[in-house]
Chain A
Amino acid sequence: MASQTSTLPGRSASWQALVSRNLLMLSCVAVLLIIILVSLIGPWFVAGDATMVRPRMRLKAPSELAWFGTDAMGRDVFALTLEGARLSLLVGFMTAVSGGLVGTAIGLITGYFRRLDGFVMRIMDAIMAIPNILFAVAVVSLLGPSLLTIVGALVFNEIPRVVRLVRSVVLSVREEPYVHAAVGMSIPARLILIRHILPSCIAPLIVQTTYIFAAAILSEAVLGFLGVGFPRGTPTWGNVVAEGRAVFLRAPWTIIAPGMVLAITVMSVNLLGDSLRDWLDPTLSRRAKVHS
């Protein structure tokens, strides 16, 4: 379903296939919009302050009063999850956008100016060789947890994949006649890159940034889980889960419930990426989806 390689690829497929693909895309968008909306109107949606400590309500199982139960400090896990969605989604969004922008810039330049290519690509290989999670844990714990360090560390990890993608597009597009024509008319390189080459990169870039968005949300949760995410007490999905670790045996909902919301969100983003890929560029869907 997610990455159909039908015998008639992309737009030429039967209209039923097109409708069902767009149906998937639309339902993913709907799920994400609901999660974003609910996280924004959360304070009105759930009575009381999410971070309020209620000692008498400690570790209560899920009920109609607290849908996801309560944590070790008596806080409503559902309210915390809603609050946490904002920062987690923000981290995902910022990582996707800045990773996409920086990676595109490097990819355009290294693909077009061939002398830089060998050196830049070796650096990209090196970054890919360093385990993502460990690099992020090291950066965040050494420089101190903040939005800047967390997003920065995650962006650094994602850049090589964007660079490789953009570079591969540039390498094929730069041999097209219209680019040769532009070079022949002595149009400056930066204009050629932006006006003539960049547009070919947009479709695969959109797909790639959705995957980065999903990966960044997961990474933030793992950072929180390992105890090096945002400062304790800041509601993010990672921190909500991290607080649940100590009481998991007595109150498994403290991890399972926010974890499931996280999984649904990431899954919607991944499926959205898959359907966007099929929709925007039929030839892309023939390749295996490669992201982590």
Chain B
Amino acid sequence: MLRLIILRTASAVPVMLIVAVIVFLLLRLSPGDPATIMAGDAATPAEIQGLRVSMGLDQPLPLQFLAWIAGVVQGDLGQSILSRMPVSDLIADRLGPTLMLALCAIVVTVLVAVPLGALAAWRHNTWVDWVVMTLSVLGFSIPAFVVGYLLMLFFSISAGLLPVQGYVSPLVDPAAAMRHLILPSLTLALVLMALIARVTRSSLLEVLGQDFVRTAKAKGNPAFRMLWRHALPNAAVPIITVIGLGIALLISGVVVTESVFNIPGIGRLTIDAILARDYPVVQGLMLFFAFIYVGVNLLIDITYIIVDPRIRY
């Protein structure tokens, strides 16, 4: 088992390396030179050239890549062109709001989507099933920003119940922080809920057709107990599998949600950095996001290896 875990972990290394190559090439092959941006409008060609040399931009691409990746491995993601701050510090500064947002969205998703999916499976082919599945397709189809603005329109502007935009740290004012987080987390959670409800339903449907469920029913178990104790645990594996996909949705969703609700997290940081052509920050953030995605998928696979003795690569 340990050997399997080590093998699986090692297989993540080439993937991250290819990610690094793609991200590096993407930013180097594009027109526009970081040195020109950094030097400003008033700079003479000689100054720009000097900056280019000092930043190592005159080196061949493979050498530049090696220099960059050597730093990354040691935790040095480089320095922002605009603010001159280390990229890792920038990410650390902005991580809090994004983590809070993602955490709330995940909690909302699990609390809402799993029961809804279970309900749809239990009441298969009735109007309940139909409503849940329609909502799920709608969740996949409606853009997150439309949902965000709709929620804002109803709860903040018309009803005046919740703040329109912005972010308050829970360390400063927990109550205000929660009020600011409700709408963004709902917005972010929508597509996740659609995914999880759907998978919960289809996975549970498969389990509900099996013999042991019939036995549990025949023994006179109440419906809730039958679902909760017997069916859901056996339906859990596909649900855990889609968490990997869920992370990808979450990262994309964070970018949009933070823009709609004006939350100063890493999603906004990324968009701002891309628009400002702050190459080191963009590279660092893309690597960071990819690292989270690869890491979560790795953890899921390792969980399988530990939980399910049948899994052998």
Contacts and interface: CB of A to CB of B under 8 A. Distances in A.
A5 to B, nearest CB: 5
Nearest to B145: A225
Interface in A241-265: 241, 248-249, 252, 255-256, 259-260, 262-264
Interface string B269-286: 011001101000010011
Contacts of A126: 15-16, 18-19, 22, 290
Interface in B126-177: 129-130, 133-134, 136-138, 140-146, 149-150, 152-153, 157, 164
Of A255, A271, A291, most buried by chain B (CB within 10 Å of CB) is: A255
A290 B242 contact: yes
Q: Is the interface of A mostly helix, strand, loop or mixed?
A: helix
Interface in A1-34: 1-7
B180 interface: no
A226 B143 CA distance: 12
A137 interface: yes
A139 B282 CA distance: 12
B238 interface: yes
B32 A226 contact: no
B146 A143 contact: no
Contacts of B191: 292
A255 B146 contact: yes
A1 B16 CA distance: 40
A138 B146 CA distance: 23
A contact residues, range: 35 or more
B255 interface: yes
Contacts of B26: 135, 138-139, 142
A205 B274 CA distance: 34
Contacts of B125: 4, 6
A267 B289 contact: no
A122 B245 CA distance: 17
B23 A129 contact: no
Interface residues of B, number: 63
Contact of B293 (A129, A225, A256, A288): A129
A87 interface: no
Given A3-B198, A142-B277, A131 B238 contact: no
A51 interface: no
A24 B47 CA distance: 65
Contact of A288 (B27, B198, B274, B289): B198
A262 B255 CA distance: 20
Contacts of A6: 125
B187 interface: no
Interface in A190-240: 214, 218, 221-222, 225-228
B138 A130 contact: no
A86 to B, nearest CB: 19
Nearest to A132: B252
B42 to A, nearest CB: 24
Contacts of A138: 26-27, 274, 282, 286
A270 to B, nearest CB: 5
Contacts of B251: 131, 134
A108 B209 CA distance: 36
Q: Is the interface of B mostly helix, strand, loop or mixed?
A: helix
Given A138-B286, A222-B143, A288 B199 contact: yes
Given A130-B19, A132-B252, A263 B138 contact: yes
A110 to B, nearest CB: 15
Nearest to A255: B149
Given A130-B289, A226-B259, A262 B143 contact: yes
Of A126, A222, A255, A266, most buried by chain B (CB within 10 Å of CB) is: A126
A49 interface: no
Contacts of A134: 251-252, 255, 270, 274, 285-286, 289
Of A1, A143, A287, A288, most buried by chain B (CB within 10 Å of CB) is: A288
Contacts of B203: 288
Contacts of A98: none
B248 interface: yes
A227 B275 contact: yes
A46 interface: no
Interface of A: 1-7, 122-123, 125-135, 137-139, 141-143, 214, 218, 221-222, 225-228, 241, 248-249, 252, 255-256, 259-260, 262-264, 266-267, 269-271, 274, 286-292
15 contacts: A2-B134, A122-B14, A126-B16, A131-B248, A134-B251, A137-B270, A142-B27, A222-B252, A228-B275, A252-B157, A259-B142, A264-B141, A266-B141, A269-B141, A288-B203
Given A248-B149, A270-B141, 9 more contacts: A125-B15, A126-B16, A126-B290, A134-B285, A142-B30, A218-B143, A222-B256, A269-B141, A270-B137
Interface of B: 14-16, 18-19, 22-23, 26-27, 30-32, 125, 129-130, 133-134, 136-138, 140-146, 149-150, 152-153, 157, 164, 191, 198-199, 202-203, 205-206, 209, 238, 242, 245, 248-249, 251-252, 255-256, 259, 270-271, 274-275, 277, 282, 285-286, 289-290, 293-294
Closest 6 CB pairs of A and B: A259-B146, A142-B30, A126-B18, A267-B141, A266-B141, A129-B290
